Chain A
Amino acid sequence: MYGFEAMTFNIHGGYLEAIVRGYRAGLLTAADYNNLCQCETLDDIKMHLSATEYGPYLQNEPSPLHTTTIVEKCTLKLVDEYKHMLCQATEPLSTFLEYITYGHMIDNVVLIVTGTLHERDVQELLEKCHPLGMFDSIATLAVAQNMRELYRLVLVDTPLAPYFSECITSEDLDDMNIEIMRNTLYKAYLEDFYKFCQKLGGATAEIMSDLLAFEADRRAVNITINSIGTELTRDDRRKLYSNFGLLYPYGHEELAVCEDIDQVRGVMEKYPPYQSIFSKLSYGESQMLDKAFYEEEFHYGVFFAYMRLREQEIRNLMWISECVAQNQKSRVHDSVVFIF
């Protein structure tokens, strides 16, 4: 079915595939989550996490802990692992690994631009940026007044440059333009990543097609739900959907006209993989990501899957910490996604 990856993959990718499979073994288990969900304070959470791979990152944090501190330190671990993989990778794996971070880069660009529009200090904004999405000239974003300047002064030398072709206008930046820019950039990035994976071919193309298609479909649902009742028209909404995925193109046509969550549910239930989407969306995604580790070897999908699973784990820890800090432990299972 695929190419002869088994013969050649390990020459350049074998070491890192072994590394990432080792990293995957360090993901929190259901038993870890059960212990964490029973914690009474954030210090209890820190104590439980000290027995996991997050231990070294949290051990020097003084009490009282804050939920943002827990998230920051756990994110640092992910960043360290990613950087280790990136510095050991050769082409095309290094480009593949860089693609994984472009989403964070887009989020950081939008954060800086939005914060500057609201007259916030650049240093304060830089501290809130995701470390995986940083680039050298990011602070210069604060001087741009419109998207043309944004592109010309800063983004032309970044990997996001090709995604800007549909965004460049001379209109001054405002909340609406920034939102459209965010979604247009992300759409272009996903489609570019998809094409790159298709070019790689073999098992990577096969597995990444499914994973990125799910990402595109999830994005379409989010855009639909978040735009219900806003001033975004049907045409504008449709323009933000990616041009691939299981829902493309007929599902997108139906989603574009949805006015409430029930209509969205009705559209999604026509697609068998998404029939139980509202009850198990996140869990379904985690299962799909984890499958990438077990079902095939010798492909780059394991790296993408690992990064996504770690990010989900960090979101779980954030939610558990918030519920514990706010004394709302009964709500902890609302949003925790058990990966195993």
Chain B
Amino acid sequence: MMEDQEEKGNAENGIGRQKQVKDEYLLQFLDSLDGYLTLLDSLSSTLSQGWLELASARHAMGASRINGALLDLKVHAAATSLKVSEQDVDSMESQPCFTLCKWASSDNGERSSGEEKSLSPQLRHRNNSQLSGIISSPQRQKSLSVFGVLVSPKLRSAQLSFERALETLVEIANLHTTMLSMFEQVHKELENTNG
């Protein structure tokens, strides 16, 4: 009798733990879904802002100074790259993990993983330590130099907006894989319960 009660207790504990695990997966799935939708919304508004700032820059500087015909077609290294790695989730499966390497320079065949490298100056350098982060990165300025060296602050703001949008896209991609993984877990748990 006592053994029956103990077994019954253990079975109830097991069911409780299973339910707890299922709830946990479900909560994680819903959290990731919520984060995903929030990031999509954020991406949309960041891109809208970027496009408007670009239009504003074209309005200030003139269409002849900001247009697609000025983009550089020479072969050159990408200023920003995306690294895809496999991340172990629970030693049973792995999911892709996306990392953005911003302003990575491979001019000398070396990758600097987002660290800033100074360019060889064409004019005398100023001390940039007092300047805001918005305009101090040489790589950031170099990528805008296709439109000229003295560009409107609106163009720099547009650049930052599109940079933010790119970061958001990578976050969305990572969250998407997490969300799919959680969905699989929830689905598996449901099947186990029904089975």
Contacts and interface: CB of A to CB of B under 8 A. Distances in A.
Q: What 4 pairs between A and B have smallest CB-CB spacing?
A: A229-B135, A322-B55, A179-B149, A226-B150
A328 B52 contact: yes
A124 interface: yes
Given A111-B64, A322-B59, A230 B149 contact: yes
Contacts of B63: 68, 71, 128, 318
Interface stretch (B7-15, B23-31, B66-74): B66-74
B183 interface: no
A322 B60 CA distance: 13
Contacts of A327: 48
A125 B150 CA distance: 21
Contact of B134 (A114, A222, A229): A229
A253 B115 CA distance: 37
A232 B59 contact: no
A175 B48 contact: no
Q: What bracket does the count of chain A residues touching chain B fall in?
A: 35 or more
A323 B48 CA distance: 11
B64 A128 contact: yes
A138 B52 CA distance: 32
Contacts of A174: 122
Given A183-B150, A225-B153, A326 B52 contact: yes
Contacts of A322: 52, 55, 58-59
Contacts of A119: 72-74
Contacts of B124: 231, 233, 236
Given A120-B70, A319-B59, A326 B48 contact: yes
Contacts of B59: 315, 318-319, 322, 335
Contacts of A236: 123-124
A68 B63 CA distance: 9
A130 interface: yes
A149 to B, nearest CB: 20
Interface of B: 48, 51-52, 55-56, 58-59, 62-65, 67, 69-74, 121-126, 128, 130-132, 134-136, 141, 145-146, 148-153
Contacts of B141: 230-231
Contacts of B148: 110, 114, 175, 178-179, 182
Interface of A: 68, 71, 107-108, 110-111, 114-115, 118-120, 124-125, 127-130, 174-179, 182-183, 222-223, 225-233, 236, 259, 261, 315, 318-319, 322-323, 326-328, 331, 334-335
Given A118-B73, A328-B48, A176 B149 contact: yes
Contacts, number: 120
19 contacts: A107-B65, A110-B148, A118-B70, A118-B71, A118-B72, A119-B72, A120-B71, A128-B69, A175-B149, A178-B148, A225-B153, A226-B151, A226-B152, A229-B136, A231-B122, A232-B149, A233-B126, A259-B130, A334-B56
Contact of B150 (A115, A124, A227, A318): A227
Given A118-B70, A179-B150, A231-B149, 19 more contacts: A111-B69, A114-B146, A118-B73, A120-B73, A124-B69, A128-B67, A129-B64, A176-B123, A176-B149, A178-B148, A226-B152, A228-B135, A230-B135, A231-B125, A233-B124, A259-B130, A318-B63, A322-B52, A327-B48
Nearest to A177: B122
Nearest to A127: B69
A188 B130 CA distance: 33
A223 B126 contact: no
A249 to B, nearest CB: 21
B141 to A, nearest CB: 6
